[in-house]
A and B are shown apart, each in its own frame.
Chain A
Amino acid sequence: MIEIRDVAHRAGPARILSDITLDIPRGGVTALIGPNGAGKSTLLSLVARLEPLQQGRITVDGRDVGRTPTDRLARHLSILRQDTGLAARLTVRDLVGFGRYPHHKGRPGPADRAAIADAIAAFDLEPLADRFTDTLSGGQRQRALVAMTWAQGTDYVLLDEPLNNLDMAHARALMLRLRDMAATGRTVVVVLHEVNYAAAHADHVVAMKDGRVARTGPAAEVLTGATLSRLFDSPVEMAEIGGRSFALHHG
């Protein structure tokens, strides 16, 4: 379980997060939704110690993220931020291979190579495996980065808008991979822009607005027309089509 207690965060004079107290349950897919600027990405960065914690406390399965040695944490928790550039010029295989670094510290063994091959297969990257990352499209690079995070094999996987740049088929395939991951007992926390993906694939939803948690609970409870309309300040209707719920917010 990820326990977040009394977390507040400022960037200069701007208050990004205030009084966040939240439990993200172990196992399943938890979606973070909310309007732009709600603080979803910042919260994720704080949980993954990418930003120093200014106030409050965050523990992952009892490990304090501020105190646990960063290399030990990397075997339990991985994060992929949105729009992270890649400074280095690498092949897709080498990039995915970096996901194993926390386990082998530079000396990959057979188990690491198997995990890399699995990740490449899981994300349809075989035809691209020997291409350099700077020759890929945005969506292909995004898949390679998610595959790297997958290969890290951590109990907790945090993804910040992983569907960016992905076409319909790959977005869906990615969400299905995340479900597979959750099915093996791992915990996936994902920031989603499109609430329909949350409706289709998430077990839990955390709705955030203005740096606070607005609602949290099982997906079916949080994703109601009234809640979403208030969350986004824009009319949203929920509808059942073919036994699945959809948020109608366009048109």
Chain B
Amino acid sequence: MPARLVWIAAALALACAAFLGLGLRGDPGFALSLRAPRLAALLLVGAAIGCATVMFQTIAGNRILTPSIMGFDALFGLLQTGLVFALGGFGVATMAPQLRFALEAGLLMGGALLLFGTLLGGRRVDLHRMILTGIVCGVLFRSLSGFVARMIDPNEYAIVQGSSFARFNAVPIELIAIAALLSLLALAVAWRLRHRLDVMALGRDHAVSLGVDHRRTLMLALATIAALVSVSTALVGPVTFFGLLVSALAHLAMRDHRHAVLMPAAALIAGLVLVAGQTVIERLLGWSLTLSVIVEFAGGLLFLVLILRRPAP
């Protein structure tokens, strides 16, 4: 196991300890029972987004694309608006969280498979066409949800808005068990794909010549990515640039092409960013900031840097 992975894991363990232990007052057992499930959710979301982004970038053959940039967060927005439109704000707000989670995760997964499948399913992956299609899809989803939003009650629209941003402060605890189960299943599939992903990173022709069933692996990876991203989005809401940030950090820290190293690194780094960030905000800054805003700001900056610095392909 590479030494850097151990260091990252140690840093994450430290951050977890700080998250659980800092500023404990009164009955520690009670406080821990509140904090532990939130910690689990942060780690889960980190692992899901980190792995999904690394996988997505490998099969897309590009380090700038992420599922979110390809229109996924716009799809989530459309889904939220559509749900409120169909069921009414009251209906959505009073819906059993488990049911809402299942509905959201299911619809998102279907949508993600359709979206990414169309984008990546062609025999030749044309990057420019793919980015353009992603952007066009994103605009389409945003316009559609804007259109639907105009037809619903402004008060109900507040419910849409509330759920359209990532919320790391208040994770729905009752959903963590089911989200963990689904994510761990998907992560297990991702781990099984690790060697094939290494080969896929060489490009389609090399992968076929080396005996990797390209189409099957592509579809399997896409389904896994869709599951990971959908579950984490349904749990905490959409994060646009977080995956990009984490995947870039993982590649930078490990400098290794093996997914057996990259995926754990991305998962650990994502967990570290979320847990350490949330600890600082909750314990040191007294909830005066929102983690998703900071992460998106840093990730957005990185996105610009990557685009500007990128040599011609």
Q: Is B136 an interface residue (CB 8 A)?
A: no
Taking a contact as CB atoms under 8 Å apart, the answer to whether A70 and B206 are in contact is: no
Q: Is A216 an interface residue (CB 8 A)?
A: no
Residue picked from B195, B208, B209, most chain A C-beta under 10 Å: B209
Enumerate chain A residues within 8 angstroms of B208, measured Cβ to Cβ. 48-50, 70
Given the interface pairs A49-B208, A50-B205, A84-B206, the reply to whether A90 lies near B257 with Cβ below 8 Å is yes
Taking a contact as CB atoms under 8 Å apart, the answer to whether B209 and A79 are in contact is: yes
0/1 per residue, B45-81, Cβ < 8 Å to A?
0000000000000000110000000000000000000
Interface majority SS (helix, strand, loop, mixed), chain A? loop
Enumerate chain B residues within 8 angstroms of A222, measured Cβ to Cβ. none
Q: How far is the CA of A85 from the CA of B212 in the complex (A)?
A: 18
Taking a contact as CB atoms under 8 Å apart, the answer to whether A98 and B206 are in contact is: yes
Nearest Cβ on chain B to A92's Cβ, whole angstroms: 12
Taking a contact as CB atoms under 8 Å apart, the answer to whether A87 and B210 are in contact is: no
Q: How far is the CA of A152 from the CA of B212 in the complex (A)?
A: 14
**Which stretch in A13-21, A99-107, A122-130, A185-193 binds the other chain?**
A99-107
Count of A-B contacts judged by CB separation below 8 Å: 68
Taking a contact as CB atoms under 8 Å apart, the answer to whether A102 and B210 are in contact is: yes
How many chain-B residues does the 8 Å CB contact rule pick out? Answer: 20
Q: Is B211 an interface residue (CB 8 A)?
A: yes
Tell me the chain A residues, 67-105 only, with Cβ under 8 Å from chain B: 69-75, 78-81, 84-90, 94-95, 98-99, 101-102, 105
Q: How far is the CA of A75 from the CA of B210 in the complex (A)?
A: 8
Enumerate chain B residues within 8 angstroms of A73, measured Cβ to Cβ. 211
Taking a contact as CB atoms under 8 Å apart, the answer to whether A88 and B210 are in contact is: no
Q: Is B199 an interface residue (CB 8 A)?
A: yes
Q: Is B100 an interface residue (CB 8 A)?
A: no
Chain A, residue nearest B206 (CB):
A84
Q: How far is the CA of A78 from the CA of B205 in the complex (A)?
A: 11
Q: How far is the CA of A243 from the CA of B62 in the complex (A)?
A: 52
Nearest Cβ on chain A to B60's Cβ, whole angstroms: 9
Taking a contact as CB atoms under 8 Å apart, the answer to whether B209 and A48 are in contact is: yes
Tell me the chain B residues, 194-211 only, with Cβ under 8 Å from chain A: 194-196, 198-199, 201-203, 205-206, 208-211
Interface majority SS (helix, strand, loop, mixed), chain B? loop
Enumerate chain A residues within 8 angstroms of B199, measured Cβ to Cβ. 98, 101
Taking a contact as CB atoms under 8 Å apart, the answer to whether A84 and B205 are in contact is: yes
Q: Is B213 an interface residue (CB 8 A)?
A: yes
Chain B, residue nearest A158 (CB):
B209
Chain B, residue nearest A102 (CB):
B211
Taking a contact as CB atoms under 8 Å apart, the answer to whether B211 and A101 are in contact is: yes
Taking a contact as CB atoms under 8 Å apart, the answer to whether A86 and B203 are in contact is: yes
Taking a contact as CB atoms under 8 Å apart, the answer to whether A84 and B203 are in contact is: yes
Q: How far is the CA of A102 from the CA of B205 in the complex (A)?
A: 14
Enumerate chain B residues within 8 angstroms of A106, measured Cβ to Cβ. 194-196, 198
Chain B, residue nearest A78 (CB):
B209
Chain A, residue nearest B255 (CB):
A89
Q: How far is the CA of A50 from the CA of B61 in the complex (A)?
A: 18
Nearest Cβ on chain A to B39's Cβ, whole angstroms: 33
Enumerate chain A residues within 8 angstroms of B313, measured Cβ to Cβ. 85
Partner of A86, one of B196, B202, B211, B212: B202
Taking a contact as CB atoms under 8 Å apart, the answer to whether A87 and B202 are in contact is: yes
Taking a contact as CB atoms under 8 Å apart, the answer to whether A71 and B257 are in contact is: no
0/1 per residue, B211-242, Cβ < 8 Å to A?
11100000000000000000000000000000
Q: How far is the CA of A106 from the CA of B206 in the complex (A)?
A: 15
Chain A, residue nearest B251 (CB):
A89
Given the interface pairs A105-B195, A106-B195, the reply to whether A88 lies near B201 with Cβ below 8 Å is yes
Enumerate chain A residues within 8 angstroms of B203, measured Cβ to Cβ. 84-87
Chain A, residue nearest B213 (CB):
A70
Enumerate chain A residues within 8 angstroms of B202, measured Cβ to Cβ. 86-88, 95, 98
Taking a contact as CB atoms under 8 Å apart, the answer to whether A72 and B206 are in contact is: no
Partner of B212, one of A70, A72, A87, A107: A70
Enumerate chain A residues within 8 angstroms of B206, measured Cβ to Cβ. 84, 86, 98
Enumerate chain A residues within 8 angstroms of B198, measured Cβ to Cβ. 98, 106
Q: How far is the CA of A124 from the CA of B67 in the complex (A)?
A: 41
Taking a contact as CB atoms under 8 Å apart, the answer to whether B61 and A74 are in contact is: no
Q: How far is the CA of A74 from the CA of B195 in the complex (A)?
A: 16
Enumerate chain B residues within 8 angstroms of A101, measured Cβ to Cβ. 195, 199, 210-212
Q: How far is the CA of A69 from the CA of B211 in the complex (A)?
A: 8
Partner of A87, one of B194, B195, B201: B201
Taking a contact as CB atoms under 8 Å apart, the answer to whether A71 and B201 are in contact is: no
Q: Which 6 A-B pairs have the closest CB atoms?
A: A74-B211, A106-B195, A71-B211, A87-B61, A88-B201, A102-B211
Further 13 A-B residue pairs, CB within 8 A, beyond A72-B211, A106-B198: A50-B208, A70-B208, A70-B212, A71-B211, A71-B213, A81-B205, A85-B313, A87-B201, A87-B203, A88-B257, A94-B257, A102-B210, A105-B195
Chain A to chain B contacts (Cβ below 8 Å), 26 pairs: A48-B208, A50-B209, A70-B211, A70-B212, A71-B211, A71-B212, A72-B211, A74-B211, A75-B211, A80-B209, A84-B203, A85-B203, A85-B313, A86-B202, A87-B62, A87-B203, A88-B201, A89-B257, A95-B202, A98-B198, A98-B206, A101-B212, A106-B198, A107-B195, A149-B209, A152-B209
